[in-house]
Each structure stands twice: as C-alpha cells, then as structure tokens.
Amino acid sequence: MRLFVNQLTAMDFSYLHPTRGLVGESWHVDIELEGGLDDQGMVLDFGDVKRQVKELIDEGFDHRLLVPADYPGLSVEDGRLSFQLEDGLRIRHRGPADALQFIPGETITRPLVAKAIRQALQPKLPANVHAIQLTLYPEPEDGAWYQYSHGLKLHCGNCQRIAHGHRSRIHIWRDGMRDAMLEQLWAKRLRDIYVGSEEDMVAITSCNDQTCFRFAYTAEQGAFELELPADRCYLIDTESTVENIARHIRKRLEEEHRGEHFRVQAFEGIGKGAISESR
C-alpha cells in the first residue's frame, strides 16, 4: 500500500556547481510512502506527513547551501569551505554547520538530493513504512525566470544564511502592458547571480587575476562570510529582500525609461514574492 502527498513542500536553497558557481534553486517535493497499515488502517496519518515529514525536509535541506561532497575541487577545514570552479576561480564560504548540507556525489542532481532526503527520513518514520519515493522538480520554465542567491542578516529565520537562493519568475508591465523583452533582459542580468547588499561587502579581493567580492555579517545564527567572483554578483544599496529587489528593478526601469509607468512582480521561489509599482 502506498500513500502519496503531492507538493508536500517547496525547497528554496542554493548549490555549488563546477561551471555555474553558486546557483539558487526552488523545487516542489512530492512524496510516496509504501508500507503496511497501522492500527488506524493507515500507512501514516496525513497530518503526520504534512507536519513531521515536511518539518524534517525543511530543517535539513531548505534554505541551505548544498555542497557536492565528492567534488575534487572541494576543501573544508575548520568550518571554511573552498570550492574551485573549472575555470580556476573559487567560491569561499564560512558559517554555522547548519547552513550547509553535504550531498554524496560530484555534482548536485535531483536524484542524489532525493536519495539524501530518503536516507535522512527513513530512521524517523514508523517501522511499518518500508520505502520512500521522492520526486523533486521545478516550476515549468515558461516565460522569463532566473536563479539567484542571497542572504538576509536581519531575518530571524533561516533566510539569514548567507548563501541560499531561489528559482524565480519575473513579470514586468510597461504602461499597462506586459513587456516580455524587459522580462528576459532582467532575467538574464540576475541568472546565477548573488544579489548582495553593498553594506555587507567587506573586501575586494583577487583570484587568478579576476576581481572577487567578499561579503560578511553576523546574524542571530552566527558569523557568515562568502567570497565569489565579482562578475557573479549584483550589488544593491539595501537588504536583498524580494521587496527591495522588486523596488530596485522598478526604479532602474524608471531611470532608463523616463516618464513611463512600471509594475514589477518579482517572485521569490514558487508562488510568492513582491510587487512594486510606479506612482
């Protein structure tokens, strides 16, 4: 007998990739539990699935930086992580252990992440649950979308982690009409980008003759630091909340197209975000 829950939760996280670097991602999570029936005639109560199983996935994998544990260019020492990209550049990260999740393998893939989640869940489930099937998948990639990472030092939850991210849509109305060209332009600008606050940039460094930016701050969960190539960063003069990102894009559009009215709908992952509109 199998029990299923579609779209049990949505994971928002970032991961390290050999060529793309720091990549933000958002996946739906579908789950099937196979096993015998308990005294209630259930594999597992839906309430327990939605509460306990979702909580385990959210705590262990959501809003973390996923790291391919067997990647040859990875080194970890005294809480400092270094990830060498195929072009010779590096990404460096320092932070509390809970900000990271190491996934066995040389690259981050949906099957490997699903396997890691299954292995984390199985010991926590009742003995009558014999097998777990997970399906991880993004939203359909129609229209303009981008993948970005950020960290929010003032957030009281896990968004304060310096390297977590999202796969996000963007909708732009120009004088009341959707403008697909502007949507694609901004999606291209922000794809595989770290959106960093100017206030948090503490140093400009160099790696293989290329400029790098170092961001650092102390939040409720501890001290965080991230260094990555400057051409993979986009700086704004506020905290990088989705509200501020939407406002920043709208203000830039108004500067570039004087006298026109804009409405920007910036998503933060799946089904949520912020809207900023010209007055």
Query: Which residues of the chain fall below pLDDT 70?
Result: 36-46
Indicate the fold that domain 2-137 takes in CATH: Tetrahydropterin Synthase; Chain A (3.30.479)
The answer to whether 179 and 172 are in contact (CB under 8 A) is yes
pLDDT of residue 110: 97
Strands (E), the chain: 2-17, 21-35, 65-68, 74-77, 80-84, 90-94, 100-103, 129-137, 145-150, 164-174, 177-178, 193-197, 201-207, 210-219, 222-229, 233-236, 262-267, 273-277
pLDDT of residue 141: 79
**What is the per-residue DSSP string for 113-148?**
HHHHHHHHHGGGS-TTEEEEEEEEEPPP--S-EEEE
Q: Where are the domains of the chain?
A: 2-137, 145-277
Strands 74-77 and 164-174 come out as unpaired
Distance between CA atoms of residues 195 and 234, nearest Å: 5
pLDDT of residue 132: 86
Tokens describing residue 42? 């259930």
pLDDT of residue 21: 97
